[in-house]
A and B are shown apart, each in its own frame.
Chain A
């Protein structure tokens, strides 16, 4: 590990809001605003944050499903931003996505075999005559049986449907998969099955993941590193264990403390971050978190903090005051 697979540099994805009479946007919704991050080959990077903070948009922008307004995305050394539809084609099979709602991401008129076959054919390296064999193999990878191939999506449970979506993502032999809240719609017992499957596949096939979730507990299970997003920006990137034991950013700490712990002996008081998520059209000046932050001073209200590299390996933080705030008992 150590090889860079994806690198984004000051990525901005803005959506036009309130178009004027001549079709000129009067305002922009800044869903992703100045995001620079690196995903290393073979790792699972988690992306956490509250609803509406731009997590999904960032995932889609990396895959070029949404075109960024500025900034760059490099995938395996190639800059993707200026490629047109046709030039992107060779990269598409290498980057896949698994969505939140498996039911609506499967065509109800296609059997599982047809769904997989379509994806297998999209892979330029496939040999035409063994589609059935490959489909059987894919089904086996996600613990479904060969006879399932002839069934339609509605005949499967939610967990099984998500397995099909994962199999479809694997069909093109990708390097990189974005999971966008892929287990959020599932029950705990099924969610555990899918999480274990996702972890196992990564090991076996040497995949790289971006795992988007609002649930910190889930991220802690599958990710090596976690990026925390707030109002369109990354506020902290840390190794997953350290992020929870000693968060650097006040927002990360607030988020962690708000998660109910399934252990009655850990007496929580439900003290949480005050206020609500800001509007992405007109985000607060300075540090975007400062109106809700208990530690903000004058500098936070006026100057935008830069994302700074910590001495620690692959850790970044966007906070003026992190050196003074010491949320951790342990140092380094």
Chain B
């Protein structure tokens, strides 16, 4: 970890707030998100439905319409706040610096163009230098060079039968192949950051394993940092170096993976880990009582307090501060400096 600390983060999210205007009024879906992402790091963003994982990703990528979603805060990449950029300026970042893949790979491919047409367009946009290099090396036409590069990129993600694949449409390929294709298109501009939003949740476990291995390899080879959004703690444990746990629009705990699983601090993280069914688990499951809060009327103070077995009086009143321990960052009154005795007595 010490090496990481010396490095400069590639992406820094500071106090990110996202508010949606809906018929039910203003909903604050993200309520001050902070995290940093370092080069070649895989960060898991875990949490339950509706906690704001996907909105975090889409806010970073500027994919939400300004009319519905108001964003505040900072998403810093090389000293530039991405939130200040216009859609047009953002284009020079998308695909080159930061890229994203989605849960449903088939739906995120344009259904009316062949896979070949789509990847060739991306090669033309993102790989201009490569195209000229291939042209001079092989003495071929531009079109042939583009074809060659497109095929090479598809092979890199483990796709076979590339010629046939390039002539196919999205609905003609399987989910696993579609996700590989999407990864190929997402990383061909060599982005520094790749956001994977539940990228394997719609796939079978066997296919999921292939995709996870591919992402791990890409991250190691190309130094790509990945934000892996998931609700599956198993993936977080096996794939990621760092885990951030989200609850109701806030990050409640961030820690290196081994630390988080061995020594979870936040009561929500603890509850979540006990609720995960595991093959090896002999004892029964413990569940967290209650349900996720209604964002139209979020709980005061700490948003987890109505479901927390260790809630104190102050949890109802005050938003918990970010407490940094040796390895964790945790938002909980139990670890508050003025409240230390309580923490150790109760843990």
By a beta-carbon cutoff of 8 Å, the part of chain A in contact with chain B is 50-51, 157-160, 187-193, 195-196, 199, 214-218, 220-221, 244, 254-273, 276-277
B279 touches which one: A189, A195, A256 (CB < 8 A)?
Answer: A256
Rounded to whole angstroms, the CA-CA distance of A217 and B277 in the bound complex is 5
**Mask of B34-53 contacts with A, CB within 8 angstroms, 1/0:** 00000000000000110000
Are B48's CB and A189's CB within 8 A? Answer: yes
Given the contacts A256-B279, A259-B279, A187 and B204 also touching, CB distance less than 8 Å: no
Given the contacts A190-B291, A221-B281, A270-B216, A264 and B206 also touching, CB distance less than 8 Å: no
B210 touches which one: A255, A257, A272 (CB < 8 A)?
Answer: A272
Are B237's CB and A260's CB within 8 A? Answer: yes
Q: Is B235 an interface residue (CB 8 A)?
A: yes
Nearest Cβ distance between residue A213 and chain B, in whole angstroms? 10
Interface of B (DSSP majority class): helix
Can you spell out 14 A-B residue pairs with CB atoms less than 8 angstroms apart? A189-B48, A190-B287, A192-B288, A216-B205, A217-B276, A260-B235, A262-B237, A262-B276, A262-B278, A264-B257, A264-B261, A265-B258, A270-B213, A276-B174
State which size class the interface on B falls in: 35 or more
Q: Specify the chain B residue showing the minimal Cβ separation from A160.
A: B291
Chain A residues with CB below 8 A from B287, complex form: 189-190, 192-193, 196
Q: Which 3 pairs show the lowest CB-CB distances between chains A and B?
A: A260-B234, A272-B209, A192-B287
Are B291's CB and A159's CB within 8 A? Answer: yes
Chain B residues with CB below 8 A from A259, complex form: 205, 234, 279
Given the contacts A187-B292, A258-B209, A214 and B261 also touching, CB distance less than 8 Å: no
By a beta-carbon cutoff of 8 Å, the part of chain B in contact with chain A is 48-49, 174, 176-177, 204-210, 212-213, 216, 231-239, 257-258, 261-262, 271-281, 284-288, 291-292
Chain A residues with CB below 8 A from B272, complex form: 188-189
Chain A residues with CB below 8 A from B292, complex form: 157, 187
Rounded to whole angstroms, the CA-CA distance of A196 and B289 in the bound complex is 12
Nearest Cβ distance between residue B115 and chain A, in whole angstroms? 17
Chain A residues with CB below 8 A from B286, complex form: 192
Chain A residues with CB below 8 A from B288, complex form: 189, 192
Rounded to whole angstroms, the CA-CA distance of A254 and B206 in the bound complex is 8
B212 touches which one: A187, A190, A261, A270 (CB < 8 A)?
Answer: A270
Are B238's CB and A215's CB within 8 A? Answer: no
Are B212's CB and A260's CB within 8 A? Answer: yes
Are B278's CB and A261's CB within 8 A? Answer: yes
B275 touches which one: A192, A215, A267 (CB < 8 A)?
Answer: A192
Given the contacts A221-B285, A264-B238, A187 and B48 also touching, CB distance less than 8 Å: yes
Chain B residues with CB below 8 A from A263, complex form: 237, 261, 278, 280
Other A-B contacts than A261-B280, A270-B212, 5 sampled, CB-CB below 8 A, are A195-B277, A221-B285, A260-B208, A260-B212, A260-B237
Rounded to whole angstroms, the CA-CA distance of A255 and B238 in the bound complex is 16
A50 touches which one: B206, B279, B281 (CB < 8 A)?
Answer: B206
Given the contacts A193-B287, A272-B206, A272-B209, A188 and B234 also touching, CB distance less than 8 Å: no
